[in-house]
Amino acid sequence: MIRPCTIVLKQTMELLPLFAAIQRTPRVALTLSFVLFTLTIVPALYSLLANPTLPLLISSSETDGPFPSDHVHLSPLNSPSFRTLSPVNSPIPAPPYHTRHQKSSFNSSPVTTSTLRTQIRDDEQRCDLFKGEWIPNEESPYYNNATCWAIQEHQNCMKFGRPDTGFMRWRWKPDGCDLPIFDPNEFLEMVRGKSMGFVGDSISRNQVQSLLCLLSRVEYPEDISSSPDIAFKVWNYTSYNFILHVMWSPYLVKTTKPDPTDAKSNFFSLYLDQYDTKWTSQINQLDYLIISSGHWFYRPLIFYENEKLSGCQYCSLPNTTELPLHYGYTKALRTSLRAILENFTGLAILRSFSPQHFEGGPWNKGGDCARTRPYRRNETIPEVSDLKIHDIQLEEFRAAEEEMEKKMGLRLRLMNTTQAMLLRPDGHPGRYGHLQTEEVSSRNDCIHWCLPGPIDTWNDILLQMMKTEK
């Protein structure tokens, strides 16, 4: 049998005299070159374009259009230098009037796919989202105070001269999987025609503001609040018929404020066994509920149970039992979870305690948080005194979880972000949440979180938990 290569070699040798003649005739050589191009290159190009299985050598970051993504990129047009926002009086400022009913004016830069995965693979579904560490992420931040109207001044960590920006460039990496970065298009499609409520204190509101900023790449919401009460806001993403509720309840249960006309009434009064109906009466209309609290329970408080005075905390009142720290929080959280068990049938999430990072003293005695990078998990972390709140949350959640099994429809989950946030002493406003003057130079905020910043990870996790439940 004659091999193909032998035939080709023989035919080539036979053509050599012809090639020599062609070289001496330029017009014939040009004609032959055109014929060879037509017979070889053109069919190859046709095959490439007609066959969809052949890969096109275009990186995903260069594609144009609203593809599902795990990262949101700010184009140069959307990444101006940080600008100054005017002071606001409401907990969450309203979007610019002319854009309330429109898509975000920053949509000129479409949400595109990133080099990171958009979802957790099937073999990673058992990955614990809450165990891991922070790794560099040069693609962040995904918004700034020029593209998001919801950032308050005390969270605007660049406005008052913070010299470092590294706190914005980390992402949470769980052990065993990659946590996708928040995709605003995917989120809004998932909640189309649904409603979500956040209940808690200013840290809860901090997460809502992060969510508003992340969604601002797609749409600004319309304020449809039924009353002027700035503690209870309702937003509507009209293109998606998605309703977002923000409900202020730092103690979670029925509470009365100190009476300004009574010099002896200097304490909040908590009715530990009674619902705060301002939010519990609304949750039956929600599909998603995120609840959190904790920091307010370190103040002087008076407690009532069964409509009777049961004791106090840090009060030193005559004929009043001084109850141990965390007594009130345990009872209040238990009551709040009972309200959810009795009145809610959607996906309820208890977000765990957000640690503070004061070093060198407490908040009112010069304590500060001046670190500029996350802790590694094998580093020695200064002792944090308020993690008892986290322990209580775990205990009460487990008890409520057992009761949940008896109720159809309700899903109660724990967003256990405490360990991740314990590693982020660099993410607080610290001294850069206000103008530095002699009068306020010692007021450092090591409780709330910068925007953009580590708290954006809570919404990465929120979306992943919603996807898992779906």
Is 434 noted as a catalytic residue in this protein? no
Q: Could you tell me where the beta strands, DSSP code E, fall in 238-357?
A: 242-248, 253-256, 268-275, 288-291, 301-305, 308-313, 347-351
Nearest Cα neighbor of 280 from 253, 307, 256 is: 253
- Given the residues 293, 448, 456, 460, select the one marked as catalytic: 448
- Given the residues 70, 273, 276, 445, select the one marked as catalytic: 445
* Residue 313 φ/ψ, nearest 5 degrees: -135, 125
| SS3 state of residue 251 | coil
* Residue 382 φ/ψ, nearest 5 degrees: -55, 145
CA dihedral 451, 71, 419, 449 (to 10 degrees): 0
Is 295 noted as a catalytic residue in this protein? no
Residues 461, 463: Cα–Cα separation, whole Å? 5
Mutual angle of helices 327-343 and 388-404, in 10-degree steps: 30
Rg of the chain on CA atoms, in Å: 30
Is 445 noted as a catalytic residue in this protein? yes
- Given the residues 202, 239, 265, 442, select the one marked as catalytic: 202
Per residue in 81-114, is it b (16+ CB within 10 Å) or e — as a string?
A: eeeebeeeeebbbbbeeebeeeebebeebbbbbb
**Catalytic residue set:** 202, 445, 448
